[in-house]
Structure 1
Amino acid sequence: MTDPEPKVPNPRKADLVRLRGDLAKEVDGFRDALKRPTADMGSDKVWVGRNARAWQQELDGRNRRLRDQVDKLLPVIDAAIRNEPDQVSRSDARMYHQGA
């Protein structure tokens, strides 16, 4: 009987952990990308009138949707990390590196 193929650290998990770290540094900037333009438009110092109010309401809605979507990013990556095994076979790691 032969030994099973040796296990190696899971490269996909390592990439996901790295992605999570990089994203965690940027998430606040993404969340607040439309914050200042929304505040500026709502201040009546940039543009006034019916069209300005409609545009500001649209921008405010987009700002809320952007924040909601950004808030989902880290939990999605965290779930993906939890679902990855710590180690995989050497051939699985090789296939991952080859993009298969």
Structure 2
Amino acid sequence: MAERMVPNPRRERLRQLLVEAEYRAHEVRQAYQHASSAMRSGRVWTGPTATAWTTELEDRHQRLGRIAQNVVDAVEEELRRSPPLVTEAEADAMRRELAGRT
């Protein structure tokens, strides 16, 4: 007799993680825009050092944005690979693992 299939608890945890990762990625993309705009305005700090600093800030900001998006992409990929239904025994094992009781 086949074991009853139930919703995959890991998928729900991944969905929650995806929401959080997307929110944080959005925060990261917005994080230094005010500072960058202020620097590019020419009213805060000018000169070669200011230009170099602003370029460095923007480069690091872009890199951080790409890294945050990589996290989102990885969670989405894991979610796609996770089956929507698992056996009750698998779900119980997943719940124990998610709770740190392996």
Name the TM-score class by shorter chain: 0.7 to 0.9
The count of residues paired between Structure 1 and Structure 2 equals: 98
Deviation at 1:37, TM superposition (A): 0.9
Identity of aligned residues (%): 28
Query: Is the deviation greater in 67-76 or in 45-54?
Result: 67-76
Contact 2:8 2:83 in 1 (8 A): yes
Deviation at 1:94, TM superposition (A): 3.8
Out of 46, 66, 91, the residue aligned to residue 68 of structure 1 is: 66
TM-score (norm 1): 0.76
Out of 15, 29, 32, the residue aligned to residue 30 of structure 2 is: 32
Alpha-carbon distance change, 95 to 70 in structure 1, aligned in 2, over 3 angstroms:
same
Which consecutive unaligned segments of at least 5 residues does structure 1 have?
none
Query: What is the aligned partner in structure 1 of residue 8 from structure 2?
Result: 10
Q: Distance in 2 between matches of 1:64 and 1:77?
A: 20
Contact 1:32 1:67 in 2 (8 A): no
TM-score (norm 2): 0.75
Query: Cα RMSD over matched residues?
Result: 2.2
Q: Distance in 2 between matches of 1:26 and 1:46?
A: 28
